[in-house]
Amino acid sequence: MFSTVRGGHRIRTLTSLVVAGLLSTACAQTGNLPSQPAAAVPTAAAKPNTLGPSGEGLNNQLIGAVAWKQTAAEYRALYYQGFNIARMHVEAAVKNRKPGDKPLAVITDMDDTILLPLAYWGYLINQNQDFFNDPEWDKWIPRDQIVPSPGSRAFLQFCKDNGVEVFYVTSRDQDEHTYDYAMKHLKVLGAPYADTDHLTVLRDTSNKQPRQDEIAKKFDVVVYLGDNLNDFRRKFYVKNVDERMKVMESERDQFGRKFVLFPNPTDGHWLAAIFGDSEPPPTDDNRRLFKKAATRTAWDGR
Ligand SMILES: [Mg+2]
């Protein structure tokens, strides 16, 4: 089975699903988050769902995260904050650039960085779904309801006005239409450099680094923008909570400097560190695993 990513592209195989399912069950029994990669439970082998949203869907575990995305001024302010930081770095780089230096560039992710898929998440909740649904995502993408993130358009135009090229590197897969859909979204955004030299769509991997390194050979990359650590370097692609945290800590000086990170509490590779899969199936075992993650530290009431 083959599927799109947002948090981290992955190719599912029957073997990996079975292994992941066994690990997930073990974790649910021991109460520990996975210390080894993988943990998602295959839908086919899962027991019937009894804990997922039903009726009015008030027990949907996504509600908090999606309500925050839909309504919190803080969520939107974090985008302005990120683009303000990025702009400061671009301003400094433009000012400090000397004749003969490589030209300047910015490399950005698309979804949840310069574009927000808010209506997609609202739809999932209205459909009583509580995990990312890849087929629904693929149906929604061509509806062109994705919207600019706060400050993205102005920042991208600022880059253009200052001769700083912007490269868009995204992992998406909606079959043969993937590239056209992504390009159309750049046009909807009014993004500069919306052309084939600047847009890279990775359909079969979430590994952006080869393309980023290729760009960095010709350009001085001022900042990388993303909502997922994997948008910055491949080294962050670690499917284990503690290990992933360690890799993040090893790069702590880069955040707000070389890497500008935007918030995403609904999806991303952080889920792969919990479930072994960025898009885990909506099973009761996975809901239990999610609760384990949420109670990783918990007061005992005494
Ligand atoms: Mg993204």
CATH number (domain holding residue 128): 3.40.50.1000
3-state secondary structure of 106: strand
Would residue 237 count as lying in a domain? yes
Would residue 64 count as lying in a domain? no
pLDDT of residue 9: 40
CA of 53 to the centre of ligand 1 (A): 26
CA of 207 to the centre of ligand 1 (A): 13
pLDDT at 201 over 50: yes
Q: Which residues surround ligand 1, an ion (CB under 5 A)?
A: 109, 111-112, 227
pLDDT of residue 48: 73
pLDDT at 26 over 90: no
- Domain count along the chain: 1
Averaged confidence pLDDT in the chain: 89
> Residues 77-93: pLDDT tens digits?
999 999 999 999 999 99
Please give the structure tokens belonging to residue 132. 């990312």
Would residue 202 count as lying in a domain? yes
Range of the domain at 181: 72-267
pLDDT at 149 over 60: yes
Please give the structure tokens belonging to residue 91. 């301003």
3-state secondary structure of 167: strand
Q: Average the pLDDT over 35-40 and give the result.
A: 48
CA of 182 to the centre of ligand 1 (A): 13
Q: How far apart are CA 150 and CA 189, in angstroms?
A: 11
CA of 125 to the centre of ligand 1 (A): 20
pLDDT at 25 over 90: no
Would residue 208 count as lying in a domain? yes
pLDDT of residue 49: 80
pLDDT at 17 over 80: no
pLDDT of residue 22: 38
Percentage of the chain beyond pLDDT 70 is: 84
Would residue 17 count as lying in a domain? no
Would residue 226 count as lying in a domain? yes
Would residue 296 count as lying in a domain? no
